[in-house]
Amino acid sequence: MSLPLLLVSITLIFLVFKLYKGIRFKLPPGPYPWPILGNLAHIKPVGCRNFNEWSQIYGPIMSVWYGSDLSIVVLNSKLAKQVLKDNDHQLASRPRRSLTAKVVKDGKDLIWADYGPHYVKVRKVCTMELFSPKSIEALRPIREDEVRAMVESIFKDCTNPEGYGKSLMVRKYLGSVAFNNITRLVFGERFENEGVMDQHGLEFKAIVEQERKVGQSLIIAHSIKLLGWISWLKKGEIAKHLAHKDAFTRTIMEKHIQSCNKSGKHFVDTLLTLRERDELSEDTIMGLLGDMITAGMDTIAIVAEWAMAELIKNPRVQQKAQDELDRVIGPNRVMTESDLSSLTYLQCIAKEALRLHPPTPLMLPHLADADVKIGGYDIPKGSHVQVNVWAIGRDPKVWKDPLEFRPERFLEEDVDIKGHDFRLLPFGAGRRMCPAAQLSINLVMSILGHLLHHFHWDPPGGVQLEEIDMFESPGLVTYMRTPLQAVPRIRLSPNLYKREGVCD
Ligand code: HEM
């Protein structure tokens, strides 16, 4: 077939398909899709901002075509409730495609599992065993140790003669605390010592990086059918990556099996102990371990970095938080997680940071298992559904002065952050809500509390507060576009900056 004929045929098929959908379903409005590409050519890199702009034209629910995949994006709390509560059951699966499916163990994990008996089983294991209040408490020494290690490392860098008075890249320290914390929780391994990553750690980082690249390259290939050959070309590369990742995880699992540590508290021990009782296959255990690393590594560092940027931009808030820390903890000891419940203003700061800067601003995509209606429109079976929690957190209809970083709003009104109030959804809500919400809140608060109790933070010399770049980088998770630079000044006596000791 000649090229012009091929293009005409594709356009005709597309128009017939559009006509069929248009007649059969009343879809939400949205930008007109091109044949093959859909709206891919129109979507700007930072999706949450882009859809928020489009909502001025199309309203709070819109159809967006990623190639031939229809995605419904909702942007207000009323519609979010319809997605995550009223129709939760039919919208609780995840979109997966052939090759990406292999990367996520064909949905035998948790994050990418379809809603059904397998999902219910592994979700229960995660909620009851990995993220129960008892497990969170058992893992507390690890979190506290890692946060102390971060303080020690910043102290060393800002008191050594070369670093004194100079700005630091805050993300470097937050990235370390998040990485070490998650590898210890999940694998019981700390790959970094004295700021140096060992061979195993470097190998693991390379695996995580490779997975990110593979994932990105496949997203487009999956949406645009004509680019399916990219997936085919990448088959070998992906198989090699998966074999490497599995071998790495299996070695760690073997080590834990050999040590026969039935009372081990790390995720790998817990899952190995449960494998017979709960009939967990090797793929499921490896999938779950991988999920925790993927979901837990970037998110914590992202929120903490945005919160620090807001605290530096708002010296009044920073001062008020430090006053509270001085009042509750004082100058003679270090904060612990037992202090969290007494640090009311710090709790509000964590909420305010998550309101304005949720690290997964469009959550994770949901998949419609059946035809449903949202906001009076049809959502056909097979559509993807995205909730723009970034836009909902900034909606002027529900938040007063939404763009202002003002933690006091949560003293005036106690808004739930764990899926019960649809104005504030950084962890999602309903069946697929983040199972690690409480653990994450504890860790984020602990990081911020230590950073503010031990140090005062200023922007680098010559940088005005309004010059700090508050724009997101593109991606499923949104780091700050420009890594935050800041100058720490110590506030406590030097003997309080030492990490006490390593506990597993
Ligand atoms: C501040 C930190 C975090 C935020 C804001 C966050 C947010 C989210 C969101 C929005 C979802 C998707 C909800 C949905 O699709 O409806 C999610 C899912 C998930 N998160 Fe988190 N997360 C955080 C940290 C973590 C950590 C530390 C872990 C693990 C150690 C984790 C594990 C998971 C898992 C396993 C899922 C999939 C749940 C499912 O599909 O049933 N998250 N998270």
Q: How confident is the model at residue 215 (pLDDT cuts 50, 70, 90)?
A: confident
Q: Is the pLDDT of residue 228 over 70?
A: no
Q: How far apart are CA 219 and CA 97, in angstroms?
A: 9
Q: Quote the pLDDT of residue 470.
A: 98
pLDDT of residue 501: 66
The answer, yes or no, to whether residue 504 has pLDDT greater than 90, is no
Protein residue closest via CA to atom 37 of ligand 1? 111
With a 6 Å cutoff on the Cβ, whether 299 touches ligand 1 is yes
Range with the poorest average pLDDT among 6-10, 68-72, 199-203, 346-350 = 6-10
Q: In this model, does residue 221 exceed pLDDT 80? A: no
Ligand 1, atom 6, lies closest to the CA of: 427
Contacting residues for 6 by C-beta, under 8 A, at least 6 apart: none
pLDDT digits (tens, 9 = 90+) for 153-197: 999 999 998 878 899 999 999 999 999 999 999 998 899 887 788
Query: Is the predicted pLDDT of residue 2 greater than 90, yes or no?
Result: no
Centre of ligand 1 from the C-alpha of residue 199, in Å: 29
| Confidence check: pLDDT of 270 > 70 | yes
Is the distance from the beta carbon of residue 363 to the nearest atom of ligand 1 less than 6 Å?
A: yes
Residue 95, ligand 1, Cβ within 6 A: no
Q: Is the pLDDT of residue 389 over 80?
A: yes
Q: Which residues contact 397 (CB under 8 A, 6 or more apart)?
A: 76
Q: Are 34 and 61 in contact (CB under 8 A)?
A: no
Asked if 344 contacts 366 with a C-beta cutoff of 8 angstroms, the reply is no
The rounded distance, in Å, linking the Cα atoms of 257 and 217 is 36
- Residue 162: the pLDDT is 85
Confidence tier at 494 by pLDDT (50, 70, 90): very high
Q: Which residue's alpha carbon is nearest to atom 15 within ligand 1?
A: 364
- The number of the ligand 1 atom at minimal distance from the alpha carbon of 365 is 15
Cα gap 175→149, rounded to integer Å? 12
**Is the CB of residue 490 less than 8 Å from the CB of residue 455?**
yes
pLDDT cut 70: percent of the chain above it: 88
Q: What is the pLDDT of residue 105?
A: 74
What pLDDT, on the 0 to 100 scale, is given for residue 154?
97
Average pLDDT over residues 239-248: 89
- Tell me the CA–centroid distance for residue 326 and ligand 1, in Å: 32
Q: In Å, how far are 298, 417, 443 from 438, measured between CA atoms?
A: 16, 10, 9
Binding-site sequence positions for heme: 434
> Is any ligand 1 atom within 6 A of the Cβ of residue 100?
no
> Measuring from atom 11 of ligand 1, which residue has the nearest CA?
434
Measured by CA distance, the residue closest to atom 41 of ligand 1 is: 432
- Show the tokens assigned to 144: 């506290």
Per the annotation, where are the binding residues?
A: 434
Model confidence over 287-297: pLDDT tens digits?
A: 999 999 989 98
pLDDT tens string 394-443: 999 999 999 999 999 999 999 999 999 999 999 999 999 999 999 999 99
Task: Tell me: pLDDT of 149 over 60.
Answer: yes
Pair type for strands 69-74 and 61-66: antiparallel
Ligand 1 center to 23 CA (angstroms): 37
The two structure tokens encoding residue 132: 């129960």
Average pLDDT over residues 84-95: 96
478 Cβ inside 6 Å of ligand 1? no
DSSP code per residue over 131-170: SSHHHHHHTHHHHHHHHHHHHHHHHHHHHSTTTTT--EEH
Q: Is 50 in the pocket of ligand 1 (CB under 6 A)?
A: no
What single-letter amino acid sits at 5? Answer: L
pLDDT band at 370 (very low <50, low <70, confident <90, very high): very high
> Is the CB of residue 36 below 6 angstroms from any atom belonging to ligand 1?
no
Residue type, 20: Y
Question: What SS3 class is residue 3?
Answer: helix
Apex 326 CA angle, 325 and 328, nearest 5: 65
User: Between 302 and 22, where is the model more confident?
Assistant: 302
Please list, in sequence order, all residues whose beta carbon lies within 8 angstroms of the beta carbon of residue 56, skipping any fewer than 6 positions away: none
Q: Ligand 1 centre and the CA of 111: distance in Å?
A: 8
**Measured from the CB, is residue 201 less than 6 Å from ligand 1?**
no
Q: Whose CA is nearest to atom 27 of ligand 1?
A: 296
- For ligand 1, the distance from its centroid to the CA atom of residue 372, given in whole angstroms, is 25
User: By mean pLDDT, which of 20-29, 69-78, 145-154, 216-225 is the weakest?
Assistant: 216-225
Does the Cβ of 427 fall within 6 Å of ligand 1? yes
Query: Is any atom of ligand 1 closer than 6 Å to the C-beta of 118?
Result: no
pLDDT of residue 96: 78
Q: What residues form DSSP beta bridges with 103?
A: none
DSSP-derived pairing of the beta strands 384-387 and 69-74: parallel
Task: Decide: 432 in ligand 1 pocket, CB within 6 A.
Answer: yes
How much distance in Å is there from the Cα of 455 to the middle of ligand 1? 30
- Which domains can be identified in the chain, with CATH numbers? 3-497 (1.10.630.10)
pLDDT confidence bin for 224, thresholds 50/70/90: low
Select, from the ranges 7-11, 214-218, 472-476, 498-502, the one with the highest average predicted confidence (pLDDT). 472-476
- Give residues with Cβ within 8 angstroms of 411, minimum separation 6: 344, 345, 348
d(CA 248, CA 238): 15
Termini Cα distance of the chain: 65
The pLDDT of residue 7: 62
The predicted-structure confidence for 35-57, as pLDDT tens digits, reads as follows 888 998 899 999 999 999 999 99
- Measure 383 CA to ligand 1 centroid, in angstroms: 22
300-309: per-residue pLDDT in tens?
Answer: 999 999 999 9
Asked whether 183 lines ligand 1 (CB < 6 A), one says no
